[in-house]
Amino acid sequence: MKIGITGATGQLGRIMVEQLKKRVSAESIVALVRNPQKAAELGIEAREFDYAKPENLATSLQGIDKLLLISSNELGQRATQHANVINAAKQAGVKWIVYTSLLHAETSSLNLAGEHLATEAALKASGIPYTILRNGWYTENYTGSVQGAITAGAFIGSAGDGKISSAARVDFAEAAAVVLSGEGHQGKVYELAGDESYTLTDLAAEIARQTKKDIPYNNLPEAEYANILKSFGIPEGFAGAIASWDVSASKGDLFDNGHLLSKLIGRPTTPLAKVVADAITAG
């Protein structure tokens, strides 16, 4: 039984490999990556796999029984790239696809939702058994800005008082490993989010508590926040996307109180305070 993991050298993929190795033999896991050399340290078989090169995908999927399709990081190209993978999986005889989608994709105002929904539709139409993991926000998406906030003396964003039910990457990775190594998950759509919900004001207060510094949260208009991100060297399109995601957060699109993620992994999700502490230590 071979389990293929796309994007296995990415931030989420690497953690998923480690979580899966706790549950199945390393010999049964295959890293499907653009550059197999970068996967050498994972200690598993690696095959070349580029979402944008459909002519080679089916060959790389030969012998793969279960496929974890981690969503592409190329915004605007995802629907096409994911369809390439699904079509190749069908050709190769893959028996089950687990896909990382977006929390409440059907109702979310995040501009990421459309491509995820298109992929979900392609999965359902493929005839291949599937499981959809609708992942909420990674806490690291916000704590990546902790050092900048400490330096600047403020945390900035456009999320207003929107509640964010994020979880650490390791929590979502563990959920995927539980699903891939378990039974009874086919045909399911799981809405996954953290146990704890917070606003960016709460996040700023937690940074302040741990650093013993005055770190307020400054809520900015979307365009102003995007311009500041651009001034940090973030490309214009991505800066605008980040700001728009915060606006969606202000509308409640990153909130969920179903606690399904912690039920799936059998433990509470990683507390915000722990991820903040890790970010401070890493800095």
C-alpha 4 chain-centroid distance: 17
Residue-level pLDDT at 84 = 96
Write the pLDDT tens digit of every residue in 117-156.
999 999 999 999 999 999 999 999 999 999 999 999 999 9
Global pTM?
0.96
- Per-residue confidence at 75, pLDDT binned at 50, 70, 90? confident
C-alpha 216 chain-centroid distance: 27
Contacts of residue 224, Cβ cutoff 8 Å, sequence gap at least 6: none
Nearest to 4 by CA among 26, 32, 25: 32
- What are the φ and ψ backbone dihedral angles of 119, each rounded to 5 degrees? -70, -40
Residues 31, 9: contact at Cβ < 8 Å?
yes
- Per-residue confidence at 35, pLDDT binned at 50, 70, 90? very high
Residue-level pLDDT at 57 = 96
Nearest to 199 by CA among 141, 254, 277, 152: 254
- Per-residue confidence at 11, pLDDT binned at 50, 70, 90? very high
Determine what percent of the chain is predicted with pLDDT higher than 90. 98
Q: 127: burial class by Cβ within 10 Å (0-12, 13-18, 19+)?
A: exposed
Q: 205: burial class by Cβ within 10 Å (0-12, 13-18, 19+)?
A: middle
Give the pLDDT mean for 47-52.
94
Q: How much is the mean pLDDT over the chain?
A: 96
Q: Is the pLDDT confidence value at 92 over 80?
A: yes
Nearest to 82 by CA among 102, 100, 65: 100
Q: Is the pLDDT confidence value at 194 over 80?
A: yes
Comparing 6-10, 21-25, 177-181, 279-283, the range with the smallest average pLDDT is 279-283
Q: Is the pLDDT confidence value at 51 over 80?
A: yes
Residue-level pLDDT at 58 = 96
- Per-residue confidence at 283, pLDDT binned at 50, 70, 90? confident
Nearest to 95 by CA among 121, 140, 117, 62: 62
Give the pLDDT mean for 174-193.
97
Write the pLDDT tens digit of every residue in 214-260.
999 999 999 999 999 999 999 999 999 999 999 999 999 999 999 99
- Per-residue confidence at 263, pLDDT binned at 50, 70, 90? very high
Residue-level pLDDT at 3 = 98
- Per-residue confidence at 212, pLDDT binned at 50, 70, 90? very high
Which domains does the chain show, CATH number per domain?
Answer: 3-135 (3.40.50.720), 143-148+153-163+195-256+270-282 (3.90.25.10)
Residue-level pLDDT at 126 = 97
